[in-house]
Chain A
Amino acid sequence: MAAQIFSAIFVIIIGVGGCVAYFWGANKLLDLVFPSRGVSGTAAVDNLRRQGMVRPWLFVGPAMIILTVYLIYPVIATLWLSFYDRGGTNFVGLANYEWAVGDHDLRNSIFNNILWLAVVPAACTFLGLIIAVLTDKIWWGTIAKSLIFLPLAISFVGASVIWKFIYEYRGEGQVQIGLLNAIIQYFGGQPQVWISLPFWNNFFLMIILIWIQTGFAMVILSSALRGIPEETLEAAVIDGANPFQIFWKIMVPQIWGTIAVVWTTITILVLKVFDIVLTMTNGQWNSQVLANLMFDWMFRGGGDFGRGATIAIIIMIAVIPIMVWNIRQANKETGGH
Chain B
Amino acid sequence: MATKTGKSFVGRFGVHIAVLVFVAIWTIPTLGILVSSLRDKDQIVASGWWNSFASSSQSEAGRLPGASGQTQKDGKYVIEGNIFGDGPKREISAFGVKSSAPTQYKAGSVADLNDGVTLQMNADGGFVLSSPKAFEGDRGQRVYFASSAPPKFTTDNYDAVLFSEGIGRSFMNSLTVTIPATIIPILIAAFAAYALAWMRFPGRPLLIAVIIGLLVVPLQMSLIPLLRLYNGVGAFFGVPSKTYLGIWLAHTGFGLPFAIYLLRSYIAGLPREIMESARIDGASDFEIFVKIVLPLSFPVLASFAIFQFLWVWNDLLVAMVFLGTAPDQIVLTAKLNALLGSRGGKWEILTTSAFITIIVPLFVFFSLQRYFVRGLLAGSVKGG
- Interface on A for B, CB 8 Å cutoff? 1, 4-5, 7-8, 11-12, 15-16, 19-20, 23-24, 27, 31, 51-53, 55-57, 59-60, 62-64, 66-67, 69-75, 77-78, 81, 88, 127, 131, 133-138, 140-141, 144, 146-158, 160-166, 168, 175-179, 182, 211, 214-216, 219-220, 223-226, 228, 230, 233-234, 237, 243, 246, 258, 261-262, 264-265, 268, 271-272, 274-275, 278-279, 291, 294-295, 298, 305, 308-309, 311-313, 315-316, 319, 322-323, 326-327, 329-331, 333-334, 336-337
Contact = CB atoms under 8 A, between A and B. Distances in A.
B221 A312 contact: yes
13 contacts: A1-B172, A12-B180, A63-B256, A66-B188, A71-B221, A75-B222, A138-B19, A153-B362, A153-B365, A155-B314, A177-B347, A219-B377, A295-B317
B221 A157 contact: no
A154 B358 contact: yes
A165 B209 contact: no
B381 A220 contact: yes
B354 A162 contact: yes
Given A70-B254, A155-B361, A308-B224, A133 B2 contact: yes
B152 interface: no
Given A15-B184, A20-B187, A226-B1, A78 B224 contact: yes
Interface stretch (B59-67, B143-151, B192-200): B192-200
Nearest to A297: B224
Q: Which 6 A-B pairs have the closest CB atoms?
A: A70-B253, A155-B314, A77-B225, A59-B195, A63-B192, A153-B365
B214 A150 contact: no
For B2, B46, B229, B351, the residue with the greatest tally of chain A CB atoms inside 10 Å of its CB is B2
Contacts of B205: 331, 336-337
Interface stretch (B26-34, B108-116, B125-133): B26-34
B227 interface: yes
B352 to A, nearest CB: 10
Given A161-B350, A220-B377, 13 more contacts: A11-B244, A12-B183, A16-B183, A70-B222, A71-B254, A75-B222, A138-B16, A147-B23, A214-B26, A219-B373, A272-B219, A279-B340, A330-B383
Contact of B48 (A19, A176, A327, A331): A176
A75 to B, nearest CB: 5
Interface of B: 1-6, 11-12, 15-16, 18-19, 22-23, 25-30, 32-33, 36, 44-50, 169, 172-173, 175-176, 179-180, 183-184, 187-189, 191-192, 194-196, 199-201, 204-205, 207-229, 244-245, 248-250, 252-254, 256-257, 260, 284-286, 289, 310, 313-317, 320-321, 328, 333, 336-337, 340, 347, 350-351, 353-354, 357-358, 361-362, 364-365, 369, 373, 376-377, 380-384
A68 to B, nearest CB: 9
B346 to A, nearest CB: 12
A283 to B, nearest CB: 14
B28 A179 contact: yes
A12 B179 contact: yes
B222 A8 contact: no
B30 A151 contact: yes
Contact of A27 (B15, B284, B377): B284
Given A66-B249, A148-B23, A219-B377, A278 B337 contact: yes
A28 to B, nearest CB: 9
Contacts of A291: 218, 220, 317
A243 B188 contact: no
B299 to A, nearest CB: 16
A5 B214 CA distance: 33
A177 B45 contact: yes
A57 B249 contact: no
Given A66-B256, A177-B44, A319-B217, A144 B1 contact: no
Nearest to A312: B220
A77 B249 CA distance: 19
B48 A163 contact: no
Contacts of A146: 369
A326 B180 contact: no
Contacts of B26: 147-148, 150-151, 211, 214-215
A137 B316 contact: no
A60 B29 contact: no
A136 to B, nearest CB: 6
A40 B29 CA distance: 73
B165 to A, nearest CB: 14
A177 B49 contact: yes
A316 B217 contact: yes
A71 B187 contact: no
B248 A134 contact: no
